[in-house]
Amino acid sequence: MSIDKSFQKSLTPLPAIPEYRCGAWTSTSAPSPYGSIAIYAKLTKNVVGVPGITAQAIVHFKEADITLDARPVSDAGGYVSFALPLLGRQPRLSAATIDIDFMVKGQTVHCSQAFFTPQ
């Protein structure tokens, strides 16, 4: 059996790896409804942390979305953190999500979504 070389031309090319990537997470995924959590994110370029970039966070509670006032700037390792007092804004056993974005060279870099579920 032989495979025609034109077969490779019909394959969809692999997507390019983005120049910048980021991830986000919380200090705990199961806080008290009236507790506080920390939200973390890291921005990288070719696996190396990117310093000096401002981040913004939006928390998606059940009843409303809240943009956090803090606009931290990434440190030498590419990390930022936000403090979030929950104040009972999310019902117990109901997940809330957090979107964090960095603006790099006029381009928005969207992090993987962080989440928590008050216990």
The residue extents of the domains of the chain are 17-112
Instruction: Say if residues 41 and 20 touch (Cβ distance below 8 Å).
Output: no
Q: Out of 3.40.47.10, 3.40.309.10, 2.60.40.1940, 2.130.10.10, which CATH number does the structure's domain 17-112 have? A: 2.60.40.1940
Strand positions, DSSP E, 1-78: 20-26, 36-45, 48-49, 55-60, 65-67
Tens digits of per-residue pLDDT, 56-112? 999 999 999 999 999 999 999 999 999 999 999 999 999 999 999 999 999 999 999
CA atoms within 13 A on the CB side of 90: 27
pLDDT tens, 27-54?
Answer: 999 999 999 999 999 999 999 999 999 9
Best CA proximity match to 99, nearest among 64, 56, 70: 56
- CA gap 61, 83 in Å, rounded: 15
Query: How much is the pTM?
Result: 0.87
